Structure 1
Amino acid sequence: MRPCACIDTLYTELPWEERFRAAKQDGFEAVEFWDWRSRDLDLIRASAEQAEIKISGFNGDADFSLIDPRHKQPYVAFLQQSIAAAKKVGAESVTIHSNALGSNGEVLHNYPELSETVKLCSMYDTLRACARLAEEHNINIHLEALNTTTDHVGNFLQHTQMAAEMTGLIQSPKLKILYDIYHMQLNEGSICDTLDKYYDQIGHIHVADAPGRHEPGTGEINYMNVFRKLKALQYTGRIGYELFPESNTQQAVKAIKLYWNMSNEV
């Protein structure tokens, strides 16, 4: 299990370009962030190379929705731009969602005028085009379900089952799901059973405790059991710590290290 720091939530006490080195010094194997459009891509690549840390990825969709059939062409066109940005900085993946999200993660439109059938079929159709693009450019795409109780009210893709069955039907080695433990604890629970059932479709994992979205140990999730399950499943992918420190990054990293060291001893 390779630890990855989200530098839009961790190390925010530091200037952007210093966060890469700080994450490396704390033992993270890679970094990730949210929106590439507002960033200096040359600075990102240079900062990562100087710190000798990898870039896992960032969001690849932005203003368009998978569930709107009218968005298929612009969605795929923007994803192509995101893939080009990923290649420029040396990132290995991009993350996508069912609905367009605002700057604070709010769902911009939940499409009450569209039926569930239209939304589902549109998502499947556009995802197939996304998968072809990913294979063509040899980059990973991760489809993420989001919680609808707290952070992303109105988001269509809410459950692991729908996301994993969708990627399983498409059967692309470059299209997997991003399983966010915080989001899915709020929406569905049963974390370890879910990992057992859909392990083969998971390409990336996000960690934060719930409620609060802070570091492990601050909420109700038994992360020792979760990491024990991942170890039993022989998960070798990245675990992205996309969490907001309860007090500061230094204290959050201490908790993160405590859990990953204990899990390595199991």
Structure 2
Amino acid sequence: MRRRDFIQSSALASSGFLLGIESLMKFSGREEFQLNYAPHFGMFRNSAPNGFLNELDFIAEQGFRSLEDNDMKKRSLEDQMAIANRMEKHGLTMGVFVAHTIYWNEPNLASGRSQWRAEFLKEIRESVEVAKRVNAKWMTVVPGHLDLRKDMGYQTANVVETLKQACDILEPHGLVMVLEPLNPRDHPGLFLTKASQAYEICKAVDSPSCKILYDIYHQQITEGNLLPNIEASWDEIAYFQIGDNPGRKEPTTGEINYRNVFKYIYDKGYRDVLGMEHGNSIKGIEGEKALIKAYRASDSF
């Protein structure tokens, strides 16, 4: 065979091989998503049984680039370190964990009481150490229940003052607490419900360590009008969470057009984490396959 023909044949063979690998990767669903979605532990327990480290391996194999774990702070030191090491191996980013005790039925931050403030700030200091351990940047803060004995203006001032003191703790470490408004249907009586309210608080606190966690599921229920509200609060949003409505399951199972929402967020330049804070609509391995398929479809824009 002439050298020129050999080179051409080799090039074609190599090209075919690479195309075959690429096709295999696409077939296996392991190419990365355009946006940075973060599953949580238990979401793929059937596909990757026998522990959270196996789930982390599976998450990475499927093309996800992050993990979200609300309960990270409650885990043992050994588990935190094991999770962090496995995430580092796969190049996974840590999403949010819950930074403090959430008072679902009584006021704490809104009350302005010194003991509640001291408890919250103590837990923020503890969360700084957790964040360092697991390479996290964001932590979730929910200000708790309304104080029905105080006007809203006084409650807001109390929350703002506490968050300013928390920022003094967080700023030197480059960490961010993200305030999560929750819908009043699932969580009646809470102080923080709307994106505009979180925006007002963040502007008053005026710190890079106090931003908004925009949970698309909660805000669809509370106020709808998703894209205009995301736009209006954009410069204070640092994190998103996902869940379709009704049902709080994966995209494509409810009324939210997640393909449009994701495209909007992507076109705005957001490249940080979007937490998959929802359940699976179908049980078992088939449900886990359906969930991944739903994200592939919604991420296709």
Q: TM-score, normalised by structure 2?
A: 0.78
Q: TM-score, normalised by structure 1?
A: 0.88
Cα gap change, 1:43 to 1:161, in 2 (>3 Å): same
Deviation at 1:169, TM superposition (A): 2.4
Q: Deviations over 1:191-240 (max 9, x none)?
A: 00011111111100001100100011000001122112112312222111
AA in 1 matched with 2:44: Y
* Deviation of 1:81 (Å): 0.6
Displaced runs of 4+ in structure 1, greater than 6 A?
Answer: none
Correspondence 1:124 to 2:160: yes
Aligned equivalent of 1:56: 95
Query: Pick from 230, 235, 238: which aligns with 2:270?
Result: 235
Runs of 5+ in structure 2 lacking a partner?
1-34
Equivalent runs, 1:247-262 vs 2, <5 Å: 247=282, 248-260=287-299, 262=300
Q: C-alpha separation between the residues in 1 aligned to 2:71 and 2:189? A: 21
The one-character-per-residue Cα deviations of 1:153-194 (angstroms, maximum 9, x if unpaired) are 211100000101211222212221000000000000010001
Give the SS at the match of 2:39: strand
Q: Which has the higher strand share?
A: 1
- For residues 68-92 of structure 1, what are the alpha-carbon distances to aligned partners after superposition, in whole Å with 9 as ceiling and x for unaligned? 2111111111111112111122222
Out of 211-220 and 111-120, give the one that drifted further. 111-120
- Rg (Cα) greater in structure: 2
- 2:44 corresponds to: 11
Give the distance between the partners of 1:237 and 1:37, measured in 2 at CA: 21
Tell me whether 201-210 or 22-31 shows the greater mean CA deviation: 22-31
What's the RMSD between the two structures over aligned residues?
1.8
- Contact (CA 8 Å) 2:44, 2:55: kept in 1 or not? yes
Partner SS, residue 235 of structure 2: helix
Aligned AA (1:235): Y
- What do the CA deviations read for 1:67-125 (whole angstroms, capped 9, x no partner)? 121111111111111121111222222110111xxxxxxxxx54333332332111111
Alpha carbons 1:45, 1:88 under 8 Å: kept: yes
Partner residue of 1:2?
36
Deviation of the 1:18 alpha carbon: 2.3
When you count helix as a share of all residues, which structure comes out higher?
A: 2
SS of equivalent residue, structure 1 residue 67: helix
Change (3 A) 1:63 1:158: closer
Structure 1: runs of 5+ lacking an equivalent = 100-108
- Structure 1 position 63, deviation (Å): 4.5
Change (3 A) 1:113 1:11: farther
Q: Which amino acid aligns with 2:117?
A: K
Task: Write the distance in 2 (CA, Å) between the matches of 1:85 and 1:220.
Answer: 37
| Deviation string, structure 1 residues 28-50 (Cα, Å, up to 9, x no partner) | 11101112343123323323423
